[in-house]
């Protein structure tokens, strides 16, 4: 591969002096000039700096995410306060890890609201010296309430985010910061939480429960701190050493034989692709990013790229141990240190011999999804990666249509209410999960090596993986005017330029 060869030669040159590194065109340079080499974190190293990953305890009871309390005191309104600030976590006994947290916890508190509710959340940014925002990932909120990088909340400041949750919007959303140049770091340091919008009439039996499993990706140094991003992280996106579920490594869940459980899986990692399978239990997909499918679909495995969600019903029909594990997935990796993808156990379920009480069946129809109509506009977005040495250092670029993100430039002008066809063409060497703010879209086809395939079912999505060499065609519509972002959800790629602005006009 010509490009990879060139890249490594470029890296070797850059690493010969910290001056070259310091001149790389990046938003966040913290820690770079003190780095002796790329990939100095545990497990992914080039040599001398290697150290064994810290061991985390496993097998604790699965923690439920703490609920964000509704302080409104009247129906139809959800009112709360969300504070982002420095906190301390204890991943390893006897060792404090400085993190960023919402209301003191990471993942942040679980927000549960209902279709038809008005939401008013006061956000307090108490991160020392850094601006932040809250982006409501996947939710149909007005553009000026969506935590765009153009609307930062200064350190020490408060602002209210207010929006309504329309009928039909039930789904598995999340919230995370989106400040210019600092999104990747604020997220990997701990800022992300789940936001579940519930339907007033939910077809899924209540006996299945409703459990959020939020995956994050932790890297710990021997002293318990979280190391800064390295060159490898900036190129590939930051992949940690431990995939956590609700902040725990391989927690345990006890189930009775024959029980069914509704699980909402969230990939809240910066850059980890999760190809998942359940051993000794049967998975049925019931929902995607933006809520329920039309009908349940049995699945042997699931690929959850960064920022994607899936809703499952898992049937635990065999006593013994059922495990949620990862399978190998090659999403393209630049440079050395490709992390181990396969064989990680994320969750262990102990299924008892004693049978569960009889469970109601899953309905055959969940809800109708109206296909978005014929598009009136077509657009083509081409992803490329560039690596080049110039007189001042190495430039890395993650580009859309040859351009890096510019906050002052509208890349696309669209009209509210128009259905558009977006063709996302990945000409790069890595997969890039593509996300559009403020709406849910429908994938209509994928093309690779001249072969076109329709998706197996209709679904509302806000993030879709576009594999290297692949073209994904989707139909999308913005209902309201305002400025919306679209970007790769490998957050380091977003930060290095793979983002654009659509100016939606009335
Ligand atoms: Cu990307």
Tell me the CA–centroid distance for residue 424 and ligand 1, in Å: 12
Tell me the CA–centroid distance for residue 332 and ligand 1, in Å: 10
Question: What b/e readout covers 119-152, taking b as 16+ CB neighbours within 10 angstroms?
Answer: bbbebbbebeebbbbbbbbbbbbebebbbbbebb
Mention every residue, 6+ apart, whose C-beta is less than 8 A from residue 415: 504, 505, 506
- Using only C-alpha atoms, what is the Rg of the chain? 22
Mention every residue, 6+ apart, whose C-beta is less than 8 A from residue 300: 277, 283
Tell me the CA–centroid distance for residue 296 and ligand 1, in Å: 30
Tell me the CA–centroid distance for residue 457 and ligand 1, in Å: 25
Tell me the CA–centroid distance for residue 213 and ligand 1, in Å: 24
Tell me the CA–centroid distance for residue 490 and ligand 1, in Å: 5
Q: What percent of the chain has pLDDT over 70?
A: 89
Question: What b/e readout covers 257-293, taking b as 16+ CB neighbours within 10 angstroms?
Answer: ebbbbbbbbbbbbbbbbbbbebeebbbbbbbbbbbbb
Tell me the CA–centroid distance for residue 499 and ligand 1, in Å: 10
For the record, the structure tokens of 465 come out as 């993986």
For the record, the structure tokens of 279 come out as 């051993």
Tell me the CA–centroid distance for residue 341 and ligand 1, in Å: 18
3-state secondary structure of 466: strand
- Choose between 454 and 397: higher pLDDT: 454
| Predicted local confidence at residue 28, as pLDDT | 36
Tell me the CA–centroid distance for residue 498 and ligand 1, in Å: 7
Tell me the CA–centroid distance for residue 426 and ligand 1, in Å: 10
Q: How far apart are alpha carbons 489 and 464 in whole angstroms?
A: 9
| Predicted local confidence at residue 27, as pLDDT | 34
Task: Catalogue the E-assigned strands of 38-130.
Answer: 77-92, 95-102, 111-114, 118-126
Ligand 1 ion: nearby residues, β-carbon < 5 Å: 432, 488, 490, 493
Tell me the CA–centroid distance for residue 397 and ligand 1, in Å: 11
Tell me the CA–centroid distance for residue 436 and ligand 1, in Å: 14
3-state secondary structure of 463: strand
Tell me the CA–centroid distance for residue 432 and ligand 1, in Å: 4
Place of tokens 């938003």: 27
Tell me the CA–centroid distance for residue 93 and ligand 1, in Å: 35
Tell me the CA–centroid distance for residue 98 and ligand 1, in Å: 27
| Predicted local confidence at residue 52, as pLDDT | 66
Q: How far apart are alpha carbons 435 and 424 in whole angstroms?
A: 11
What is the CB-side half-sphere exposure of residue 48 using CA atoms within 13 A?
Answer: 3
Tell me the CA–centroid distance for residue 497 and ligand 1, in Å: 9
Give every strand in the sheet of 158-164, ordered side by side: 95-102, 77-92, 118-126, 158-164
Tell me the CA–centroid distance for residue 495 and ligand 1, in Å: 10
pLDDT (tens digit, 9 = 90+) per residue, 268-286?
999 999 999 999 999 999 9
Q: What percent of the chain has pLDDT over 90?
A: 85
Tell me the CA–centroid distance for residue 271 and ligand 1, in Å: 8
CB atoms within 10 A of CB 228: 19
Tell me the CA–centroid distance for residue 10 and ligand 1, in Å: 20
| Range of weakest confidence among 51-65, 192-206, 249-263, 354-368 | 51-65
Tell me the CA–centroid distance for residue 138 and ligand 1, in Å: 18
Tell me the CA–centroid distance for residue 470 and ligand 1, in Å: 13
Tell me the CA–centroid distance for residue 331 and ligand 1, in Å: 10
| Predicted local confidence at residue 51, as pLDDT | 57
Tell me the CA–centroid distance for residue 22 and ligand 1, in Å: 22
Tell me the CA–centroid distance for residue 492 and ligand 1, in Å: 8
Tell me the CA–centroid distance for residue 178 and ligand 1, in Å: 16
**Confidence class of residue 41 from pLDDT cuts 50, 70 and 90?**
very low
pLDDT (tens digit, 9 = 90+) per residue, 74-99?
999 999 999 999 999 999 999 999 99
SS (H, E, C) 146-179: CCCCCCCECCCCEEEEEEECCCCCCEEEEEECCC
Tell me the CA–centroid distance for residue 237 and ligand 1, in Å: 8
Residue 121 main-chain phi, psi, to 5 deg: -115, 120
- Choose between 47 and 228: higher pLDDT: 228
Average pLDDT over residues 392-401: 83
Tell me the CA–centroid distance for residue 431 and ligand 1, in Å: 6
Residue 490 has pLDDT above 70, yes or no: yes
250: closest CA among 220, 226, 218?
218
Place of tokens 């009889």: 358
Tell me the CA–centroid distance for residue 334 and ligand 1, in Å: 12
Answer for the pair 351, 255: CB distance below 8 angstroms, yes or no. yes
Tell me the CA–centroid distance for residue 19 and ligand 1, in Å: 26
Q: List Cα–Cα distances, 264 to 238, 240, 291, in angstroms.
A: 23, 22, 10
Tell me the CA–centroid distance for residue 434 and ligand 1, in Å: 8
SS (H, E, C) 346-375: EEEEEEEEEECCCCCCCCCCCCCCCCCCCC
Q: Kindly report the CA angle at 134 between 313 and 26, in degrees rounded to 5?
A: 105
Q: How far apart are alpha carbons 395 and 319 in whole angstroms?
A: 55
| Predicted local confidence at residue 336, as pLDDT | 86
> Strand 135-137 relative to strand 171-176: parallel, antiparallel, unpaired?
antiparallel
Tell me the CA–centroid distance for residue 135 and ligand 1, in Å: 19
CB atoms within 10 A of CB 418: 14
pLDDT (tens digit, 9 = 90+) per residue, 399-442?
999 999 999 999 999 999 999 999 999 999 999 999 999 999 99
Tell me the CA–centroid distance for residue 295 and ligand 1, in Å: 31
For the record, the structure tokens of 293 come out as 């499918």
| Range of weakest confidence among 13-27, 64-78, 284-298 | 13-27
Tell me the CA–centroid distance for residue 211 and ligand 1, in Å: 29
Q: How many residues does the structure list for the chain?
A: 506
Mention every residue, 6+ apart, whose C-beta is less than 8 A from residue 458: 293, 294, 369, 371, 442
| Predicted local confidence at residue 340, as pLDDT | 86
């Amino acid at each position: 591969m010509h490009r990879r060869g060139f890249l490594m030669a470029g890296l070797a040159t850059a690493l010969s002096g910290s001056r070259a590194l310091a001149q790389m065109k990046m938003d966040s340079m913290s820690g770079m000039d003190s780095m002796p080499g790329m990939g100095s974190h545990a497990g992914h190293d080039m040599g001398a700096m290697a150290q064994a990953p810290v061991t985390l305890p496993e097998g604790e009871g699965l923690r439920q995410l703490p609920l964000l309390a509704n302080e409104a005191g009247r129906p139809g309104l959800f009112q709360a306060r969300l504070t982002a600030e420095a906190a301390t976590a204890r991943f390893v006994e006897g060792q404090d890890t400085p993190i960023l947290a919402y209301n003191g916890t990471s993942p942040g508190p679980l927000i549960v609201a209902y279709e038809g509710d008005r939401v008013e959340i006061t956000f307090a940014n108490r991160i020392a010296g850094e601006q932040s925002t809250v982006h409501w990932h996947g939710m149909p909120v007005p553009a000026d309430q969506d935590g765009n990088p153009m609307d930062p909340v200064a350190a020490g400041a408060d602002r209210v985010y207010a929006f309504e949750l329309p009928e039909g919007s039930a789904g598995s959303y999340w919230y995370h910061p989106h400040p210019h140049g600092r999104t990747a770091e604020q997220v990997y340091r701990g800022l992300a939480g789940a936001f579940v919008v519930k339907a007033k009439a939910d077809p899924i039996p209540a006996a299945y429960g409703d459990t959020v499993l939020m995956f994050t990706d932790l890297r710990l140094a021997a002293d318990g701190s979280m190391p800064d991003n390295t060159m490898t992280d900036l190129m590939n996106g930051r992949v940690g050493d431990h995939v956590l579920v609700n902040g725990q490594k391989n927690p345990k869940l006890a189930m009775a034989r024959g029980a069914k459980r509704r699980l909402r899986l969230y990939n809240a990692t910066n850059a980890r692709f999760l190809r998942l399978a359940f051993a000794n239990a049967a998975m049925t997909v019931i929902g995607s990013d933006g809520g329920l499918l039309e009908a349940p679909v049995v699945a042997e495995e699931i690929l959850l790229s960064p920022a994607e969600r899936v809703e499952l019903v898992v049937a635990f029909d065999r006593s013994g141990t059922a495990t949620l594990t990862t399978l190998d997935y090659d999403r393209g990796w630049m440079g050395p240190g490709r992390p181990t993808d396969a064989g990680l156990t994320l969750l262990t379920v102990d299924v008892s011999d004693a049978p569960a009480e009889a469970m109601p069946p899953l309905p055959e129809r969940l809800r109708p999804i109206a296909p978005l109509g014929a598009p009136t506009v077509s657009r083509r977005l081409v992803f490329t990666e560039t690596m080049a040495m110039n007189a001042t250092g190495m430039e890395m670029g993650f580009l859309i249509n040859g351009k890096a993100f510019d906050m002052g430039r509208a890349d696309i002008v669209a009209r509210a209410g128009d259905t558009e066809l977006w063709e996302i063409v990945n000409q790069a060497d890595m997969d890039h999960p593509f996300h559009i703010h403020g709406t849910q879209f429908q994938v209509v086809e994928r093309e690779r090596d001249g072969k076109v395939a329709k998706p197996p079912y209709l679904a509302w999505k806000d993030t879709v993986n576009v594999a290297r060499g692949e073209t994904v065609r989707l139909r999308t519509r913005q209902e309201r005017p305002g400025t919306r972002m679209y970007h790769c959800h490998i957050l380091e790629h977003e930060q290095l330029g793979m983002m654009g602005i659509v100016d939606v006009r009335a």
